């Protein structure tokens, strides 16, 4: 209604340029380079046209440009509707709109697009820094909006300040809506293929080097909060995929049995809460072993706990574990057979060695110990940079190179066991973790990724054996940094030994964790908990909406009262005069807006001479105070007013 065909004030343009730049610039970090170059060129062209006061391109060139942009994006992403393609299109359209700024309405469209673009940044990051940067951008976009509607009289600083004031006033409303607005858990419909980018983490197969590559990342895999004391480090085995099929090089999960695992708890359950970063996998990396009381999640026959869907975003799970347990004392024969299989012809020396051990003793436990002694007594080295292995990888490793990371030891150990006739398999997951003293969370990083072995002994079930511990006991007791010799290419953040920097890192991670847990993790369940703490047990959305409306209305009233409240004029003389007029009004004598004191006095003289005498004193004193060169005190006037009837 108001923006109809009103031509744009060209002095607004720097604001609009700034808005377009600020809302699109962070996308430079993840969009293809050609797109950044094209966007930059369009922006530069728009600014050049403005500085030279040139005509904007006509309608057909714009349509051609828009089609070209679509074609470019379609070629790059092979789609127009995916997440990344959509974001790129929005960025290009935002900049193309700069070439089309003719009317006020165009500018409003640009600003609305700018607000929308702010949302797209959260696809890529929701960190504190992103939040702050976008808050600043939001103030800028709002300032642009204000400038656009304020006309030429608005000054830049005042406009920015006003935008800041509006932002500050909008924040409490945002907070209330964030806490109370009925939350819906997404997604509402199928997401595009690229909705969640693959992120680093454990994979479902293991070959030499696959875990060592994770050790180079100090990224956080998950955070755990124990309700009680954190168990000792050598008990912190977080189970991921279990792999029992071996092709000579790569380990994969075999055909999984359908029956439920049989867990006997020998110690009380430990309750903990794990917040897992998005990893596109389903396993919950539960602490060994999951308690039989854990009913919310599916537990595979290999003891791996899985979520109903793959974890596409940081999610919190409540879990239970038992540290002493017996697992599948009665195992299916088919499973045991599968865990004895080895590829024929490969690794003849290893098989020979294992068979010799087995001949020496019938007790499988002794064979296990022999293998572990072999690792600890021979000159094995624990390193992130093992040499390449040939076709008979296990033979090469055991008898020649003898340098390897945990996946080498686990794989070699399992091959030895199987050759000796003991059912064995590889388990991948994480081991250990680091306690953040600031918030008490246990942080498990990608660098804590680990692989170990599991053997099945009659009457004992599956038991965990960690051959890495035999080679390098420090890996299990002190973590990877203490286990590896100096000079290994570990990420700098991990190797810092300065207490001060480490304390800073703990603090920063604790802040990030609080942000993740309290702000980003506020989901429908958290909302229910919060409302319950407020005394609203299981509110339905109607009552929630009613409460929300009431709170918002109260807040709006408060803000209105505050912004509309006008301080009364502080002129005491004026107040006294008004007081005198109120006294006259009681006698039905009203002073007209144009009537001077003397005129009023004359009018009263005509109608009520007695009152006029009293009123004359008021008028005289008032005029003396108001207009004389040396205003006297107000006492006289007060007395005169007091004498009025």
Which of 27, 121, 450, 591 is an active site residue?
450
292 binds another protein (CB under 8 A): no
Q: What are the contacts of 511-517 at 24+ separation with CB within 8 A?
A: 511/128, 512/127, 512/128, 513/223, 513/275, 513/436, 513/439, 513/441, 514/439, 515/127, 515/128, 516/275, 516/314, 517/275, 517/316
170 binds another protein (CB under 8 A): yes
309 binds another protein (CB under 8 A): no
Q: Could you tell me how many helices (H) and strands (E) the chain has, helices first?
A: 23, 18
593 binds another protein (CB under 8 A): yes
Backbone phi, psi, residue 116, to 5°: -65, -40
Q: How far is the CB of 593 from another protein (least distance, A)?
A: 5
44 binds another protein (CB under 8 A): no
Residue with tokens 């790059």: 76
Interacting residue with another protein among 5, 7, 53, 185 (CB under 8 A):
185
Nearer Cβ to another protein (163/422): 163
**Whole-angstrom distance, CA of residue 493 vs CA of residue 505:** 9
Interacting residue with another protein among 33, 75, 129, 153 (CB under 8 A):
153
Per DSSP, 27 falls in state: G
Instruction: Return the ∠ at Cα 391 (arms to 386 and 397), rounded to 5°.
Output: 35
Binding span for another protein by CB under 8 A among 24-32, 219-227, 517-525, 616-624? 517-525
Which of 288, 395, 396, 466 is an active site residue?
466
Interacting residue with another protein among 209, 254, 473, 521 (CB under 8 A):
521
Instruction: Return the ∠ at Cα 120 (arms to 148 and 74), rounded to 5°.
Output: 105
The number of beta carbons lying within 10 Å of the beta carbon of residue 164 is: 13
Nearer Cβ to another protein (520/634): 520
Nearer Cβ to another protein (45/162): 162
- Residue 124 C-alpha from the chain's centroid: 9
Is there a catalytic annotation at residue 406? yes
512 binds another protein (CB under 8 A): no
Going by C-alpha positions, the residue among 249, 247, 221 that lies closest to residue 236 is: 221
Is-cis flag, bond preceding 289, omega within 30? yes
How many C-alpha atoms does 634 have within 13 Å on its Cβ side? 11
Nearer Cβ to another protein (48/178): 178
157 binds another protein (CB under 8 A): no
8 Å CB contact between 163 and 146: yes
Binding span for another protein by CB under 8 A among 127-135, 290-298, 418-426, 532-540? 127-135
Nearer Cβ to another protein (16/265): 16
Interacting residue with another protein among 59, 379, 540, 594 (CB under 8 A):
594
564 binds another protein (CB under 8 A): yes
271 binds another protein (CB under 8 A): no
Q: How far is the CB of 45 from another protein (least distance, A)?
A: 26
189 binds another protein (CB under 8 A): yes
Nearer Cβ to another protein (181/297): 181
Is there a catalytic annotation at residue 591? no
Number of residues that bind another protein (CB under 8 A): 68
The number of beta carbons lying within 10 Å of the beta carbon of residue 174 is: 10
Interacting residue with another protein among 181, 245, 297, 399 (CB under 8 A):
181
Q: What are the contacts of 381-385 at 24+ separation with CB within 8 A?
A: 381/471, 382/406, 382/468, 382/471, 382/472, 382/475, 382/483, 382/484, 383/484, 383/485, 383/488, 384/212, 384/215, 384/216, 384/484, 384/488, 384/489, 384/490, 385/212, 385/488, 385/489
Binding span for another protein by CB under 8 A among 325-333, 577-585, 588-596, 599-607? 588-596
Which of 84, 106, 288, 406 is an active site residue?
406
550 binds another protein (CB under 8 A): no
Cite the DSSP H helix spans in 221-347.
333-338
**Whole-angstrom distance, CA of residue 494 vs CA of residue 490:** 7
Is there a catalytic annotation at residue 450? yes
| Residue 123 CB contacts under 8 Å (≥ 6 apart), including other chains | 83, 87
Q: How far is the CB of 106 from another protein (least distance, A)?
A: 11
Interacting residue with another protein among 105, 252, 316, 435 (CB under 8 A):
105
Could you tell me the end-to-end alpha-carbon distance of the chain, in angstroms, rounded to an integer?
Answer: 56
Q: What positions carry a catalytic annotation? A: 406, 450, 466
**For binding to another protein (CB under 8 A), which residues are involved?**
1-4, 83, 104-105, 108-109, 112, 115-116, 118-119, 122-123, 126, 130-131, 134, 138, 142, 145-146, 148-151, 153-154, 158, 162, 166-167, 169-174, 177-178, 181, 183-189, 191, 195, 313, 519-523, 552, 556, 559-560, 563-564, 566, 592-594
């Amino acid at each position: 209604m108001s923006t109809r065909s009103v031509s744009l004030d060209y002095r607004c343009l720097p604001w609009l340029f700034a808005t377009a730049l600020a809302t699109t610039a962070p996308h430079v970090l993840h969009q293809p380079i050609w797109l950044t170059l094209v966007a930059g060129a369009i922006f530069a062209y728009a600014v050049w046209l403005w500085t030279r006061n040139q005509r904007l391109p006509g309608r057909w060139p714009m349509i051609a440009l828009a089609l070209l942009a679509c074609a470019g994006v379609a070629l790059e992403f092979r789609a127009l509707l995916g997440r990344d393609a959509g974001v790129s299109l929005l960025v290009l359209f935002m900049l193309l709109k700069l070439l089309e700024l003719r009317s006020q309405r165009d500018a409003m469209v640009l600003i609305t697009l700018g607000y929308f673009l702010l949302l797209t940044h959260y696809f890529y990051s929701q960190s504190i820094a992103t939040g702050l940067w976008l808050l600043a951008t939001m103030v800028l976009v709002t300032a642009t909006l204000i400038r656009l509607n304020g006309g030429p009289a608005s000054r830049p600083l005042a406009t920015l300040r006003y935008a800041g004031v509006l932002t500050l006033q909008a924040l409490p409303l945002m907070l209330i809506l964030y806490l109370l607005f009925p939350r819906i858990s997404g997604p509402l419909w199928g997401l595009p293929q690229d909705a969640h980018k693959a992120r680093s983490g454990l994979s479902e197969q293991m070959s030499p080097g696959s875990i060592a590559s994770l050790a180079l990342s100090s990224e956080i895999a998950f955070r755990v909060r124990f309700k009680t004391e954190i168990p000792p480090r050598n008990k912190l085995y977080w189970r991921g995929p279990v792999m029992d099929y071996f092709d000579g090089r790569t380990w994969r999960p075999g055909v999984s049995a359908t029956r439920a695992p049989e867990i006997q708890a020998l110690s009380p359950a430990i309750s903990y809460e794990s917040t897992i970063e998005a990893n596109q996998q389903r396993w919950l990396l539960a602490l060994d072993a999951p308690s039989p009381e854990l009913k919310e999640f599916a537990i595979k026959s290999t003891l791996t706990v899985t979520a109903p869907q793959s974890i596409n975003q940081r999610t919190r799970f409540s879990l239970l574990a038992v540290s002493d347990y017996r697992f599948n004392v009665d195992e299916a024969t088919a499973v045991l057979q599968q865990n004895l299989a080895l590829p024929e012809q490969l690794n003849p020396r290893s098989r020979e060695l294992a068979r010799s051990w087995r001949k020496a003793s019938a007790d499988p436990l002794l064979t296990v110990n022999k293998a572990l002694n072999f690792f600890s007594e021979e000159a094995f080295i624990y390193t992130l940079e093992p040499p390449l292995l040939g076709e008979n990888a296990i033979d090469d490793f055991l008898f020649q190179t003898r340098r390897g990371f945990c996946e080498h030891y686990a794989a070699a150990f399992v091959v030895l066991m199987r050759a000796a006739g003991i059912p064995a398999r590889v388990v991948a997951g994480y081991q250990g973790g680091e306690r953040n003293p600031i918030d008490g969370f246990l942080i498990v990083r990608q660098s804590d990724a680990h692989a170990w072995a599991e053997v099945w002994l009659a009457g004992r079930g599956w038991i965990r054996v960690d051959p890495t511990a035999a080679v390098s006991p420090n890996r299990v007791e002190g973590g990877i940094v203490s286990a590896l010799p100096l000079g290994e290419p570990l990420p700098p953040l991990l190797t810092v030994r300065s207490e001060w920097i480490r304390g800073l890192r703990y603090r920063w991670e604790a802040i990030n964790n609080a942000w993740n847990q309290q702000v980003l993790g506020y989901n429908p369940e958290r909302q229910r908990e919060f409302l319950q703490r407020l005394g609203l047990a299981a509110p339905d959305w109607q009552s929630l909406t009613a409460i929300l409306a009431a709170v918002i209305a109260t807040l709006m009233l408060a803000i209105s009262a505050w912004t509309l409240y006008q301080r009364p004029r502080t002129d005491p003389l004026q107040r006294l005069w008004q007081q005198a007029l109120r006294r006259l009004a009681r006698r039905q004598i009203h002073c007209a807006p144009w009537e001077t004191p003397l005129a009023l006095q004359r009018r009263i003289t005509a109608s009520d001479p007695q009152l006029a005498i009293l009123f004359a004193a008021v008028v005289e004193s008032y005029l003396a105070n108001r207009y004389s060169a040396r205003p006297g005190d107000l006492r006289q006037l007060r007395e005169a007013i007091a004498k009025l009837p």
